[in-house]
Each structure stands twice: as C-alpha cells, then as structure tokens.
C-alpha cells in the first residue's frame, strides 16, 4: 500500500475531501496517490499538513 492512501483512509477522508483541503483536483490527487504522477514539494507539504503527518511519512 502507498502511505498517502493509508493516511488518507486512516483520517477518514475521501479523495475529494482531501483534494479540497489541499486545493488540488481530485484527479491530480488520485494520480499522486497511485504513483502515476509525482506531486511537487509544495503540494506534498500541503497534503502532509492536511493529514497532520510529516512529509517523511508520506514518502
């Protein structure tokens, strides 16, 4: 499993809910989560903050 998906599900968030919190599209978040695309450092920092985890825990 990918850490991003595990943390998102652990926090009880849907893809759309997390995407809204981070300010990105659901499809972009889905691509990051599946590994099809790499998120920028800035986006990954915002995702980590929204999930209340360190950036290291997502990679």
Which domains are seen in the chain, by residue range? 3-58 (1.10.260.40)
Residues in the chain: 59
Does the pLDDT at position 24 exceed 90?
Answer: yes
Neighbours of 59 (CB within 10 A): 12
CB 15 within 8 A of CB 46: no
Does the pLDDT at position 32 exceed 80?
Answer: yes
34 Cβ contact list (under 8 Å, min separation 6)? 2
Mean pLDDT within 51-59: 95
Mean pLDDT within 28-52: 97
Does the pLDDT at position 1 exceed 80?
Answer: no
pLDDT score recorded for residue 59: 82
For tokens 């926090």, the residue is 11
**Per the confidence metrics, is the pTM higher than 0.85?**
yes
């Amino acid at each position: 499993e990918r850490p991003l998906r595990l943390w998102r599900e652990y926090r009880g968030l849907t893809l759309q809910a997390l995407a809204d919190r981070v300010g990105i599209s659901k499809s972009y978040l889905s691509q990051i989560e599946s590994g099809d695309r790499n998120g920028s450092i800035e986006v990954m920092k915002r995702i980590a903050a929204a999930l209340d985890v360190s950036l290291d825990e997502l990679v």
